[in-house]
Chains A and B, each alone.
With several copies, the nearest count.
Chain A
Amino acid sequence: MQLIYFARIREIIGVSEEERPLNEQIKTIGDLLDFLSLQDEKYSCAFQDLNAIRIAVNQNYVSFDHKITDQDEIAIFPPMTGG
């Protein structure tokens, strides 16, 4: 799966995108965030406050219980401040 980060999340993680293989521990967005947080402090810091995390899969907003596939483009970012 393709992971994309924006704004504050991108700055903390230090890259704007990365490719990761799906594994059996990761079924949902929530699992993915947990998995990454255990891998590295940067992720656990970026995903610390889940109220300040928004997710889009293939450019559509989804909730943390959304199921993911290996072909998904998963964007992780803070609440939007457009307009």
Chain B
Amino acid sequence: MAHIYIQVTDDDFNVSDEMSKMTKGRSDIGALVSFTGFVRDMHNEKPIKKLTLEHFPLMAEKQLLNIAQKAEERWKVTDITIIHRYGGLYPSDQIVLVLAASAHRKDAFAAGEFMMDWLKTDAPFWKKEQTEQGEDWVQSKSDDINQKNRWT
């Protein structure tokens, strides 16, 4: 059984702190893969002023745990951390962190990428962009659905 840590928060996170919490005192971990997602200043060629993330609180935690457990079933991972923010964010702000630790690099990379692909389509978060032209909801991408489906 992997150690799983899930957090849905409007606070920022510190990648190094989360890594330390996971690896401290451990010598069975050979590989740690992290993914950090940031708000970019451009999306679909429009400059972004702000990004607001709406979420379904109870379900968000449930789904993140669900995704982590799916990853754990498929790959030999010893530890998983998923942190997802909500609320108002600005360009260069951190949005999401996924950590996957394993004895070997292959499992850590695969589990990390698998969880990110699921998050894009199955985690109940919705992004609204604020640009010079006003506000609009970010459309889900068929590309994200294809990315997710390659795991099934």
Known A6-B124, A7-B126, A59-B62; judge A81-B140 contact (CB<8 A).
Answer: yes
* B5 beta carbon closer than 8 Å to chain A: no
**Can you list 12 A-B pairs with a CB-CB distance of less than 8 A?**
A6-B124, A8-B126, A8-B137, A79-B121, A80-B121, A81-B125, A81-B126, A81-B139, A81-B140, A82-B125, A83-B120, A83-B123
* A56 beta carbon closer than 8 Å to chain B: yes
Interface readout for A10-23 with B: 1 if CB under 8 Å, 0 if not? 10000000000000
When C-beta atoms are compared, the residue in chain B nearest to A10 turns out to be B54
Q: How many residues of B contact A (CB 8 A)?
A: 25
* A4 beta carbon closer than 8 Å to chain B: yes
Known A81-B140, A83-B119; judge A4-B125 contact (CB<8 A).
Answer: no
Contact among B56, B59, B105, B120 with A81 in the assembled complex (CB-CB below 8 Å):
B120
Known A56-B59, A59-B62; judge A81-B124 contact (CB<8 A).
Answer: no
* B18 beta carbon closer than 8 Å to chain A: no
A61 to B56, CA, bound (A): 13
A8 to B37, CA, bound (A): 23
Q: How far is the CB of A54 from chain B (nearest CB, A)?
A: 8
Q: How many residues of A contact B (CB 8 A)?
A: 16
A82 to B122, CA, bound (A): 8
Contact among A8, A10, A77 with B124 in the assembled complex (CB-CB below 8 Å):
A77
Q: How far is the CB of B111 from chain A (nearest CB, A)?
A: 15
Contact surface of A with B, Cβ cutoff 8 Å: 4, 6-8, 10, 56, 59, 61, 75, 77-83
Q: Are A59 and B58 interface neighbours, CB within 8 A?
A: yes
- Return chain A residues, CB-CB under 8 Å to B138: 81
Q: Are A4 and B56 interface neighbours, CB within 8 A?
A: yes
- Return chain B residues, CB-CB under 8 Å to A4: 56
Q: Are A79 and B54 interface neighbours, CB within 8 A?
A: no
Question: Which residue among B84, B123, B124 has the maximum number of chain A CB atoms within 10 Å of its CB?
Answer: B124
A6 to B127, CA, bound (A): 11
Interface readout for B123-142 with A: 1 if CB under 8 Å, 0 if not? 11111100000000111100
Q: Are B140 and A78 interface neighbours, CB within 8 A?
A: yes
